[in-house]
Each structure stands twice: as C-alpha cells, then as structure tokens.
C-alpha cells in the first residue's frame, strides 16, 4: 500500500509541474524572458561566409588583421546573423583558384591583389598602370571616388563585388645577394618573378628584365631555389612572407601602389536580405579605413624589421626618371584590355582617373 501511495504522489507532482510549465509559457507568449531570447536566437538565420586569403595569420599580417576587423564588424552590424570564417595561407587554394571559386559561387569571399582581380575584371587594371600614382593620397582618392565604378567593373565582368579595399604602399624590388638593383642596367639578364598579369609583364620587359610568370604561392620557393633573382612587392609582403630569408636588397622603384580588395560572390550577395547586404557594405567601408590607419602606423616598423633581418635598402634607382618614362610607355598596350575590348574606352577610363587625382 505504501508503494502504491508513493506512486500516486509522484504522478501528482509530475502533473503539477507540467501544469506550472504550461502556465509560464502561456503568460510570456512562448517562455520566460530568457526563453524568449533563446527562441529569437533560434529563429534568426545565421549566414556563414567563407573568406580566404593568401597571407599568414596573425597581427603581423595586415591582411589577416583587416579580415578579422571586417568579420567582427559584419557580425556587429548584422546582430550576429553574418558569421565570417577566415581561411589564411591559401587554405582554400591560391588567389586565382579562390577567385574562380567565388566567381562560380562555391566560395563566398576572397581577398586578393588588384592585379589578380584584373584577370577576371580587366577594367580594374587601370590601378596597376606603372607610375599612375605619385603618392598614397592619389591612390586612395581614386579608390574612394571610383568605388561604385569599380564595383560595376567587378560585378559586370567578374561576378564579384568589392566590399573593402586595402593598400600597402608602393611596391619595391627585392633581390638576392648577387643582384643588387641600382639602375636599369642591373636588370639586364635578371630573372624577375611577376604575377600572371600582362601589365606586369610588359612593364618589366620594358625595364629590361627577363620576366618569369609565377603565382604568388610559388614565389618563395622559386627565390629559394634560385629560379628567379628578384621579385617586386610591398614591404609588408617581404616581411610576412619571409623574403628576407632569401633576398638581400630592396630597391624603391615605386612603380605601382599596392592595392588589394576583399570581394564577395555577387550571386551569393544577391541572396542575402537587404539589411545584411547593407551590413556587409558598411563593415567593408569601415574596415577599409581601419586598414589605412593601421598601415600608416606599420610601414616604418616593416622597414626597421627588414633592416634588422639583414636586408639593405638601396633607395630609389639613380635613373628613376627613365623608369617612369619606360613604365608609362606601356599604358597604350593596356587600354584595350582595360576598356573591355575597346582601346578608346580603356583610355577614357584612365583619363577619368587622372582627372580625379591630378
């Protein structure tokens, strides 16, 4: 009998607790305050965006640092609905492979140099014309004032939308211990690594070097094995990619301003609700400014770091005016590509840029 009574009491307690739970749910419209928050979180769709880049992870890489700022801002402005996952060090493939993936919609975002984006959206190659910019303010002016125009190029020609732009100063030549570059004469017979971009090839052929076309991911190994004698890039790249381990000299030819971008698949972008599109655009523009501020602080640190690692700065070439003349002489070769098949259109784009920055 005692066991029977105990069972009856237990059942009564279960029913009482169940009734209390039901009453609380009805009074709050779906749960207590905490429960309502959980329900809201459950109802909110989270969009995961894979973002790949070529740099190493960590604060020493301004690209990885900027990617993390962007991810945080995108989450903040979307109230947690946008989750940006960052894949550094070519984990998703080299830049060109990742750009193809973004273009065909199998990857959401990619960061890459403007010269590589120019493979897919040729009109943005105006940014890579030799000696088009005389200083960082001119380059940044072109980016800011032509933001929408650049996105027209990216969307129409490549199916990619540029969300943020980064810059890392003028590009310099780094070369091995047997090939210091002090003048154009030093480029004769020198094997110069260049990316797969016709403007780069044309420029360094005009300068007199023997160009070797290689993707970014193969550069260090080629230098290490002596397959190339020199390469050109930003100081920050020489630091983050450990070029100081294989190269001795830096020459400030300042032939091109280092510009890169973070781009999203336009197909994917259009699947997002308008408020999330706006959140990404806002995060991108804010991260662009944060990157500029940080770069201005880090440039001197990069120079000091490379010199401490044993690299020797040779300054500007003694015949820099000839470099500028030769570099600008290849512009007409790029007009047709920049103009999407029309040399006249390409020249028009370039002249528009010059009217803005000069």
Q: Residue 133 maps to which CATH number?
A: 3.40.190.170
- Write out the two tokens for 127: 């940014």
Minimal CA–CA distance to 74: which of 292, 293, 267, 284? 284
Residue 282 vs residues 70, 273, 288: alpha-carbon distances, Å: 10, 14, 10
The answer to whether residue 230 sits within a structural domain is: no
Which domain range does residue 108 map to?
45-167+259-306
d(CA 5, CA 9): 6
The answer to whether residue 74 sits within a structural domain is: yes
Extended beta strands in the chain, E state: 47-52, 82-87, 109-113, 160-170, 172-175, 191-194, 210-213, 230-233, 249-251, 257-265, 312-313
The answer to whether residue 119 sits within a structural domain is: yes
- Neighbouring C-beta atoms of residue 46, cutoff 10 Å: 11
Residues 6+ apart with CB under 8 A from 121: 153, 154, 156, 157, 158, 160
- Write out the two tokens for 30: 């779906």
d(CA 123, CA 117): 10
Extended beta strands in 132-202, E state: 160-170, 172-175, 191-194
The answer to whether residue 252 sits within a structural domain is: no
Question: How many domains is the chain built from?
Answer: 1
The answer to whether residue 148 sits within a structural domain is: yes
Strand ordering across the sheet containing 160-170: 82-87, 47-52, 109-113, 257-265, 160-170
Residue 116: half-sphere exposure toward Cβ, Cα within 13 Å: 26
The answer to whether residue 285 sits within a structural domain is: yes
The answer to whether residue 254 sits within a structural domain is: no
pLDDT by residue, tens only, the chain of 358 residues = 434 444 444 444 433 333 333 333 333 333 323 223 333 356 789 999 999 999 889 887 889 999 999 999 999 999 999 999 999 999 999 999 999 999 999 999 999 999 899 999 999 999 999 999 998 899 999 899 999 999 999 999 999 999 999 988 999 999 999 999 999 999 999 999 998 888 899 999 999 999 999 988 899 999 999 999 999 999 988 998 999 999 999 999 999 999 999 999 999 999 999 999 999 999 999 999 999 999 988 888 999 999 999 999 999 999 999 999 999 999 999 999 999 899 999 999 999 999 988 7
| The pTM of the whole model exceeds 0.95 | no
User: In angstroms, how far is the first alpha carbon of the chain from the final one?
Assistant: 100
The answer to whether residue 130 sits within a structural domain is: yes
């Amino acid at each position: 009998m005692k066991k029977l009574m105990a069972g009856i009491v237990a059942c009564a307690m279960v029913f009482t607790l169940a009734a209390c739970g039901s009453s609380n749910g009805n009074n709050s419209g779906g749960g207590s305050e905490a429960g309502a928050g959980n329900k809201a979180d459950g109802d909110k769709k989270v969009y995961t965006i894979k973002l790949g880049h070529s740099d190493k992870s960590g604060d020493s890489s301004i690209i990885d640092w900027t990617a993390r700022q962007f991810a945080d801002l995108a989450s903040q402005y979307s109230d947690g609905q946008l989750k940006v996952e960052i894949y550094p060090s070519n984990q998703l493939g080299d830049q060109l492979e990742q750009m193809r993936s973004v273009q065909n919609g199998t990857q959401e975002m990619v960061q890459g140099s403007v010269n590589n984006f120019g493979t897919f959206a040729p009109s943005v190659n105006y940014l890579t014309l030799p000696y088009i910019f005389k200083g960082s303010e001119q380059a940044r002016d072109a980016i800011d004032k032509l933001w929408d125009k650049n996105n027209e190029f990216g969307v129409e020609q490549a199916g990619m939308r540029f969300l943020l732009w980064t810059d890392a100063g003028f590009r310099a030549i780094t070369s091995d211990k047997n090939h210091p570059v002090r003048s154009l004469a030093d480029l004769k017979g020198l094997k110069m690594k260049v990316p797969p971009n016709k403007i780069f090839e044309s420029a360094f052929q005009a300068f007199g070097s023997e160009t070797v076309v290689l993707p970014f991911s193969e550069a260090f190994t080629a230098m290490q094995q002596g397959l190339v004698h020199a390469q050109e890039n930003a100081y920050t790249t020489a630091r983050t990619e450990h070029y100081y381990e294989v190269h001795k000299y830096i020459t400030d030819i300042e032939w091109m301003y280092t510009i890169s971008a973070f781009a999203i698949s336009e197909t994917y972008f259009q699947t997002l609700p308008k408020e999330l599109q706006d959140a990404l655009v806002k995060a991108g523009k804010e991260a662009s400014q944060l990157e500029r501020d940080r770069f201005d602080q880090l440039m001197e640190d990069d120079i000091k770091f490379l010199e401490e690692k044993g690299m020797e700065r040779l300054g500007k070439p003694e015949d820099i005016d000839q470099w500028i003349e030769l570099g600008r002489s290849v512009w007409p070769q790029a007009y047709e590509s920049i103009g999407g098949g029309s040399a006249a259109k390409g020249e028009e784009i370039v002249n528009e840029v010059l009217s803005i920055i000069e």
